[in-house]
Amino acid sequence: MGQEFDARIVVALSENFAKAVNDNGLQYTNAPELDALKSVLAEDNATLTNVIRDFEYYVQSSDAHGAAASPIIDWSRDATENDRAKAYYASKFVVTLGSGTKVMSLQLAESIKNKLKPLEGAGVIDMVRIDTMDPTKNPPIPQKYFKS
């Protein structure tokens, strides 16, 4: 049997709810339609964090700590500055556990995903998926970010 990699859960919210959650945070968005989502996440002391905000934090943190430019930093920076990327990631959120943990055991990720799955397609959640940390299943950094 192969190595089991940790994972994260990506949730795509419908456009209207994504905007409200991005503007206010899930816990402060008072739309009753979000109550079922909040309830499921509360079972695991979790919330949602926007993917583009994670990119922004990574870039800001790298800059603040004087990290040298690197392919991953440059790729992340481009995502935060590119209107097409910002639009794509605006509705994408990662399930974040109370401690700030976004990457968890595959078993826990599958458990939470299975609780969220019944909400998929019911108006708030467009899609729920698990992204494994297996490097063979993740997109490579585009070649243009590697300096010759």
- C-alpha separations of 19 from 47, 92, 142 in Å: 16, 11, 29
pLDDT reported for residue 1: 52
107, containing H or E segment: helix 106-116
Low-confidence ranges of the chain (pLDDT < 70): 1-2, 148
Domain ranges of the chain: 7-135
Tokens of 106: 């595959």
- Which pLDDT score, from 0 to 100, does residue 140 have? 87
Q: What SS3 state is found at 96?
A: strand
Contact 9, 118 (CB under 8 A): no
Task: Look at residue 4 in the predicted model and tell me its pLDDT.
Answer: 85
Phi, psi for residue 50 in degrees, rounded to 5 = -70, 140
Output the pLDDT for position 148. 66
Its pTM stands at 0.88
How high does pLDDT run on average in the chain? 92
